[in-house]
């Protein structure tokens, strides 16, 4: 977890990961998802200082996590059908949320990719009321171009209308130093690293792996 690392190690983790993505895909992301959803004010400040907006999956009614637990399938702790049932449960809870939602899934293993493409995607597309899957940036109200450093038109960071901006009353480095000296953790998840899936029910949201579809759906790696 990033919260267990030093400031320098966090910078290295985020920086080298971002470089690997740029080397392979040709674009540099402006978002990040902390492994295990583990994040605090110090990690958040460092990410923002590096131009990376943290993205976390949704907590539903009664603090239920929108996590399919697919990351446990390859190790045999959860079966494919159980993970699929978790997703159906998430869809059921989605009707109770009117702000959209983000679901956590993983593209680390062939089994989880097969689940996402063969079952999860179909369930989302056939769900009633209809869901519209969109890029994370769209769900956050950002221009699509601002999802990558090479195309962004944003002259400042964080975005002026983002929750992070409203909290940025001091510099990111000052916040990082302050957090190092005892800021409380605000971790928001318990699953392993992977991708998220962003959806919006014609008023709602979620994120899955590296797969883009034209039918109102974009799966993005965070």
In this structure, what token pair is assigned to residue 124? 């989302």
Q: Which of 18-32, 66-80, 137-151, 201-215 has the highest mean pLDDT?
A: 18-32
pLDDT at 14: 95
Q: Whole-angstrom Cα distance, residue 36 to residue 105?
A: 12
Whether pTM exceeds 0.85:
no
Q: Whole-angstrom Cα distance, residue 33 to residue 211?
A: 17
162-189: average pLDDT: 42
Percent of the chain's residues with pLDDT above 90: 20
pLDDT at 109: 84
Query: Which carries the bigger pLDDT value, residue 182 or residue 81?
Result: 81
Query: Which carries the bigger pLDDT value, residue 214 or residue 98?
Result: 98
- Angle (nearest 5°) at CA 190 between 18 and 163: 60
**Model confidence at 168: pLDDT above 60:** no
Sign of CA dihedral 181, 182, 186, 189: positive
Distances (CA, A) of 173 to 3, 6, 27, 41, 45: 16, 14, 26, 11, 7
- 110 Cβ contact partners less than 8 Å away, ≥ 6 residues apart: none
Query: What SS3 state is found at 15?
Result: helix
Kindly report the average pLDDT of the chain as a whole number: 71
**Model confidence at 40: pLDDT above 60:** yes
Q: Whole-angstrom Cα distance, residue 188 to residue 185?
A: 9
162-191: average pLDDT: 42
In this structure, what token pair is assigned to residue 37? 């959803």
pLDDT at 19: 93
Taking every pair of Cα atoms in the chain, the longest distance, rounded to a whole number of angstroms, is 49
Whether 16 contacts 167, CB under 8 Å? no
């Amino acid at each position: 977890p990033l919260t267990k690392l030093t400031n320098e190690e966090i910078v290295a983790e985020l920086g080298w990961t971002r470089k690997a993505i740029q080397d392979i895909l040709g674009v540099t992301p402006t978002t990040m998802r902390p492994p295990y959803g583990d994040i605090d004010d110090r990690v958040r400040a460092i990410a923002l200082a590096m131009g990376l907006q943290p993205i976390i999956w949704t907590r539903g009614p009664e603090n239920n996590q929108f996590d399919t637990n697919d990351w446990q399938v390859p190790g045999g702790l959860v079966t494919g059908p159980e993970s699929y049932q978790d997703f159906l449960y998430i869809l059921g809870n989605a009707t109770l949320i009117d702000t959209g939602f983000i679901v956590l899934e993983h593209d680390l293993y062939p089994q989880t990719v097969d689940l996402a493409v063969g079952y999860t995607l179909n369930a989302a597309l056939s769900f009633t009321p209809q869901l519209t899957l969109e890029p994370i940036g769209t769900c956050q109200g950002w221009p699509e171009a601002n999802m990558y450093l090479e195309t962004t038109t944003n002259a400042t960071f964080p975005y002026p209308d983002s929750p992070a901006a409203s909290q940025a009353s001091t510099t990111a480095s000052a916040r990082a130093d302050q957090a190092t000296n005892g800021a409380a953790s605000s971790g928001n998840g318990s699953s392993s690293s992977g991708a998220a899936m962003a959806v919006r029910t014609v008023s709602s949201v979620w994120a899955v792996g590296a797969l883009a579809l034209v039918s109102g759906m974009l799966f993005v790696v965070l």
